[in-house]
Structure 1
Amino acid sequence: MPKLRATSTISVGYDNFDVDALNARKVLLMHTPTVLTETVADTVMALVLSTARRVVEVANRVKAGEWTKSIGPDWFGNDVHHKTLGIVGMGRIGMALAQRAHAGFGMPILYNARRQHPPGRGAL
């Protein structure tokens, strides 16, 4: 493809591309690094809540007919408000998740990242 001037991917990363070869041929490589940031953070927060509240387990128990007249504490799961959330990697997605957890549920955030973020970055 000697006339190729640019290539693009709808993915966040570009590690499946031979960047050195593209650069040598002066072919522009484009990607979409922020396209899924909010979507992934929403999904992770939903999974945190679903796990804490045992949503799938309780739904299966309801389908199995175990819910008769009332439910006991074994159905409630765990609160997430004011619980500490640990995040490995505080890039765009980690920061978006931290903002949701902290602002929405008052969760203190502990994180590990390549570099320390300054206090007050974002909504934290």
Structure 2
Amino acid sequence: MAVDVSTHESVSEPEPAAAPAWLPVATPSAAASRAGAKDDATWLNILAFILALATVPGVMIILVAPPMALSSVVVGVLGVRAARRGEARHAWMGYVAIVLGSVIVAGFAWLFGSAAVQLILHPELD
């Protein structure tokens, strides 16, 4: 309410018109609401998740699976760190990629690690 100084009477101001119900209300997105935020880094978590899932059937290809699993772990760590800073979503995809990629890398190390050490230490057994 505004007060008219000349007569000391209160004068009511008109209420703003409400938007129609069919008109969508504009709300700022999460990316726009962060002050000075860079591009959304959710793609890191999605990429890590896809790499980890693609590694599972790729285990049959010995030369492809370990680099893919290792890259899913690295990209998953980057995605989870971005999610903790608030720059990415879907942190669970990054966590799944880290666990799945680590299990596959550990499995390859367990299966082929002793053979690789034997070949390095005793090349004459080739």
TM-score under structure 2 normalisation? 0.27
Bigger helix fraction = 2
Bigger strand fraction = 1
Query: Between Structure 1 and Structure 2, whose CA radius of gyration is higher?
Result: 2
TM-score under structure 1 normalisation? 0.28
